[in-house]
Amino acid sequence: MRRLALWAGVACLFAAALAVACGGSGSGGDQPKDDEAAIRKVVSDFGKAFNDGKAGDLHALLDAESRKNCSQKDLETLLNLVKAFSGNKKFTAEATSVKVTGDKATAQVVAAIGDEKQSPEENALVKEGGKWKLSFGAEDCSV
């Protein structure tokens, strides 16, 4: 939860460390071929899914290990809490830099809720089945 909360701009409420990327349909069907572009898309898609309240899409963007630690129900609960605290302001996330090393990557992400930008946070991603996925720890999804 800590990372997700910061992404949502309520890190101070959750004492969080930002969670990276992704959202959208989770299908990856229109995933860019270039790794850096694909990672930036994951970050952008995360914001879209977050704004749309689509916990299933958020869950689909997590790597296999993270999905074990972070259930779709956890994400639904987190979405509801963050939206309640944020007043349904729009959430955005932007990858300001990306570093790829094989099938692992890190992205510096700046999240904002409304006009309130958060401090940049380094976020991990892994490539599974040719698609970039977010890597969360159990503490990132606990509610």
State pLDDT tens for residues 70-115: 999 999 998 888 888 888 788 888 999 999 999 999 999 999 988 8
Dist. CA 90–CA 57, nearest whole Å: 17
| Per-residue model confidence (pLDDT) at position 23 | 31
Count of Cβ atoms closer than 10 Å to residue 136 Cβ: 25
Dist. CA 74–CA 90, nearest whole Å: 21
Q: Which of 107, 100, 109, 104 is closest to 127 using CA atoms?
A: 104
| Per-residue model confidence (pLDDT) at position 40 | 94
Name 11's Cβ contacts closer than 8 Å, sequence gap at least 6.
Answer: 2, 5, 17, 18, 118
* Rounded mean pLDDT, 49-58: 92
| Per-residue model confidence (pLDDT) at position 143 | 63
* Rounded mean pLDDT, 4-30: 34
pLDDT bracket for residue 31 (50, 70, 90): very low
Q: What is the mean pLDDT of the chain?
A: 78
Domains and CATH numbers, the chain: 2-140 (3.10.450.50)
The whole-model pTM stands at 0.74
Rounded to whole angstroms, the maximal C-alpha distance in the chain is 40
Tokens of 90: 């729009």
